[in-house]
Amino acid sequence: MKFGIVVFPGSNCDHDAWYATSHNAGAQAQMLWHKDTMIPADIDCVILPGGFSYGDYLRCGAIARVSPIMTAVRKHAEQGKFVLGICNGFQILTESGLLPGVLLRNASLSFICKDIHLRTEQILSPFTSSFEQGQILRVPIAHGEGNYFADEQTIHILEQEQRVAFRYCDANGNITTEANPNGSINNIAGILNDKGNVLGMMPHPERCCDPLLGNSDGLGVFTSLMQTVGLY
């Protein structure tokens, strides 16, 4: 199992993603440059990491969307291979149209950097198969634009097709307004595409994979993929 982590100018969680996948999860990982026009055939999962690609100019993810590697990322996804967008990576995926909807400014207008709780809503996906249904995870968020929005029809489809992978919840797993840090519709923290091979999420699983940090709740996202691909 090999991860390819895209480095955009302004990415700042690329090394965290590399460390989590290679050191904590024990997979192979290599960095990919935003100017690359192809993704090596041995890459199973492309990670679009967190950060502020292109300084968040215009809109978060809007400029990264037109960078050369994104054409290759689209092809990679079309082949049924995996794409994981974390935080800014999620914003890039919505801007690219690889995932529906958009990430608006947080309802509080503040940049929020803290640990939150997530409820695992969908465990049949290749990104979540090692979790238990409803499992509560403690994962950090760090964003100013994480307020998931889509039109009513899109939300209806996402819910009906059970494509919400994670929701913000309280410590006991209750989906409440108080537990929603950014105003996202239906407390949505992460969604899957229709084929289930693309996941975008605002929380940072790669920042909680090392037991030394006191929390390895995020590791399951990467080990789920490794179990799916079948090559530890």
* Interface contacts to other proteins, rule CB under 8 A: 58-59, 62, 66, 94-95, 101-102, 104-105, 107-109, 149-151
CB atoms inside a 10 Å sphere around CB 34: 17
Residue 85 contacts residue 92 (beta carbons within 8 Å)? yes
- Identify whether 87 is a catalytic site residue: yes
- Identify whether 143 is a catalytic site residue: no
Shortest Å, Cβ 102 to other proteins:
4
**Which of the residues 143, 169, 204, 209 is marked catalytic?**
204
Shortest Å, Cβ 58 to other proteins:
7
**Which of the residues 87, 169, 208, 209 is marked catalytic?**
87
Shortest Å, Cβ 62 to other proteins:
7
Q: Which is nearer to other proteins, 21 or 91 (CB)?
A: 91
- Identify whether 206 is a catalytic site residue: yes
Shortest Å, Cβ 49 to other proteins:
21
**Which of the residues 143, 206, 208, 209 is marked catalytic?**
206
Q: Which is nearer to other proteins, 60 or 116 (CB)?
A: 60
Tell me the CA distances in angstroms from 22 to 3, 32, 41, 76, one per residue in order.
Answer: 8, 15, 18, 21
Catalytic positions are 87, 204, 206
